[in-house]
Structure 1
Amino acid sequence: MASDGGGGGGGLVCVTGGSGFIGSWLVRLLLARGYTVHATVRNLQDEGETKHLQALDGAGARLRLFQMDLLDPASVLPAVEGARGVFHLASPVILHPTQDPQKELVEPAVKGTLGVLQAARDCGVGRVVMVSSQTAMVPNPNWPADKVIDEDSWADIDLLKELQLWYSVSKTLAEKAAWDFAEEQGLQLAVLNPVLVLGPTLTPSITGSLQVFLQIMKGQRFDMDEYFLGCVDVRGVAQSLVALYENSSAQGRHLCVESTERMVDFTNKLADLYPELPVQRIQEDKQEWVVRAKDPSKKLIELGVRFIPFDRIITDTMDCFRSKGLI
């Protein structure tokens, strides 16, 4: 049986969704800290998923890639076998309307999470760290109007469905399923809830949150009034995940955000930083429910996480876009 997670770098860990925006940075950090990593991808034949991982320092000796299907529990086992810890990141990211959100988003997120946790349980994994989302926290109509959103807040599933925020539904249900499983099976679980994740990407193409940000910088209006809480740098997300794994005392959920702010603050800062770009300033603040706060991620800060400040998050993201010829 594998031993408990925690302690410093070293040992074998599994990262599901290792080829993605967050996953790539996490794999890079784990390799730098001396871990051996089993990372899962959707298609081993797709160089867009594999080449940037295989190019990382330490990858030749300490990284092995596995093909995994979220809906096939048997495909999870080879990657998890022998691991001391599991980082579960793999989940579909579809932010536009879909024909069948239950099949495309909800089922893979929930069943995939349960399949990974079951594999971890079966293989005697000591600790699982899971990436959830701010969208599993808000909107919450019952949250006190004068209180900063924190880890005690859960998104209202019925409201999410009414608003057709199916990605949010998938993340909320997957996280709830994970907590239920961990409690029933006695599995050691910690969860990270990042906000809008920005920063430079190691992947050849941009997806998800970076695509949203690019649209905003090109003058499109992206409606996030129901769930926006701020942004965070991807490197801070990776650092937070490792901190949650290496500190076995870290329990529960962990909001991961540089500072809590509203969409109007966010877009106005972007417009001020890049007056030459057609960023649309928001004229009407529809986020009275968001109580602004500096350093709201107190649980992570206490674990030693240091968040990259807003201006650097944005300039590093824009430098990345320019290097790829996107802006």
Structure 2
Amino acid sequence: MSASMEETTRVCVTGGSGYIGSWIVKRLLERGYTVHATVRNSGDERKVGFLKSFPNAETGLVLFEADLYNPHDFEKAIRGCQYVFHVATPLHHDPSSSKFKDTSEAAVAGVKSIAESCIRSGTVRRLIYTATVMAASPMKDDAKCFAEAMDESCWTPLNLSDPHSSDQFVEDYVKSKTQSERELLRYDGVIEIVSIALGLVGGSTIRSALPDSLRVLIAQATNDGTWYRVLRILEEVTGKVPVVHIEDACEAHIFCISKQRSISGRFLCASDYVKTADIAHHIKKSFPEIQIPEEFIEDTGREIAWGSSKLEEMGFKYKYDLKMILEDSINCARMAGEINSNT
């Protein structure tokens, strides 16, 4: 896409103040796009002020208030755009809602409303959805064993029965993301739908607080039992842990609007697919001063292969490997004071 085309292209990013959404907004503005970013409260400077400080934000950024529990809120933000990144997802159920009984209903209603708004707009060429590998488990239907490889054909069973997956928040998250991704892909053919299923995202952050995904990734280094449990749940759902750097995750999204030819479908996005025991090994190798207790190192012995190559076949190249992802994540945590700089 030429610079002149970028300057005349409007892109909507839902969840613009979140970890992934804010990175996408920043990179789009740097490239000269006009960005319609949705946030839940545009008047909360603590959560949206940093967006206004991005290069070109003064002339290229327009904020819209929208909430997935009121999915029609997104109509105005989508109007006039050529591309839409649907990044927002409900993580916690709003108990005051009379429309939806849980986050799954809200997420599914959200993707349907956004897809239909894109169709009604008459301008949107492609809708890119931020999905998760948690919805792409290579677990077989009986949930007792795994397939030999993990790729785009894998879908997580909605009736997870593995004891490691008994965390209610994780179960709700997996269910909502799986159901909403399946629902959105039904619109493929009416409008171009691209689903980018991200691995566990690490690296750095442009927000004031460390994102949860980064806390999960480095849980062994911080000796945090709560986040380590989530890391192990991810491993039990996806066989091993797919990981991706925030920069690569962001670039994969933007790559999907740079393609002028028609593209659609599901794409898994991860540069590495490793066991949690391997993550601990790499941390200890790069940071020998960090002590990881034995209870935070559990080797499953699984050797499932990474079978996804669709993004690379289209021409996308990952710039960050596991070593770089972990080093950036640990250094980011140190700068945030989450890890003692002397350890």
TM-score range, shorter chain: 0.7 to 0.9
- How much does 1:93 deviate? 3.6
Distance in 1 between the 2:103 and 2:280 partners?
A: 28
State whether residues 8 and 246 of structure 1, in contact with CA within 8 Å, keep that contact through their aligned partners in structure 2. Answer: no
Question: Does 2:125 match 1:123?
Answer: no
State the match for 2:267 in structure 1.
254
Distance in 2 between the 1:198 and 1:268 partners?
A: 17
Comparing 235-244 and 112-121, the one that deviates more: 112-121
Aligned residue identity for 1:176: R
- How much does 1:274 deviate? 2.4
Aligned residue identity for 2:126: R
State whether residues 200 and 320 of structure 1, in contact with CA within 8 Å, keep that contact through their aligned partners in structure 2. Answer: yes
Seq. identity, %? 29
CA distance 1:141–1:26, change in 2 (3 Å): same
State the match for 1:267 in structure 2.
280
Question: Does 2:132 match 1:133?
Answer: yes
CA displacement, residues 159-216 of structure 1 (integer Å, 9 cap, x when unaligned): 2698442211111001011112335xx1210110011000111111123202323533
Calculate the TM-score normalised by the size of structure 1.
Answer: 0.86
Aligned residue identity for 1:127: R
Calculate the TM-score normalised by the size of structure 2.
Answer: 0.83
**Number of residue pairs matched by the alignment:** 313
- How much does 1:116 deviate? 1.4
Distance in 2 between the 1:260 and 1:166 partners?
A: 24
Question: Does 2:178 match 1:172?
Answer: yes
Aligned residue identity for 1:251: S
Bigger relative contact order, structure 1 or 2, given CA contacts below 8 A and separation 6+? 1
- How much does 1:277 deviate? 2.4
- How much does 1:128 deviate? 0.3
Distance in 2 between the 1:160 and 1:49 partners?
A: 37
Within the candidate set 193, 200, 208, 1:196 is matched to: 200
- How much does 1:245 deviate? 1.9
Q: Which runs of 5+ in 1 are unaligned?
A: 1-6
Aligned residue identity for 1:260: Y
Distance in 2 between the 1:200 and 1:137 partners?
A: 25
Aligned residue identity for 2:30: A
Aligned residue identity for 1:123: S
Q: Which runs of 5+ in 2 are unaligned?
A: none
CA distance 1:90–1:312, change in 2 (3 Å): same
Aligned-residue CA RMSD (Å): 2.7
State whether residues 136 and 172 of structure 1, in contact with CA within 8 Å, keep that contact through their aligned partners in structure 2. Answer: yes
- How much does 1:313 deviate? 1.3
Helix, strand or coil at the partner of 1:202? coil
Q: 1:74-93 alignment to 2 at 5 Å?
A: 74-93=72-91
CA distance 1:17–1:59, change in 2 (3 Å): same
CA distance 1:319–1:283, change in 2 (3 Å): closer
Distance in 2 between the 1:280 and 1:138 partners?
A: 28
Aligned residue identity for 1:286: T
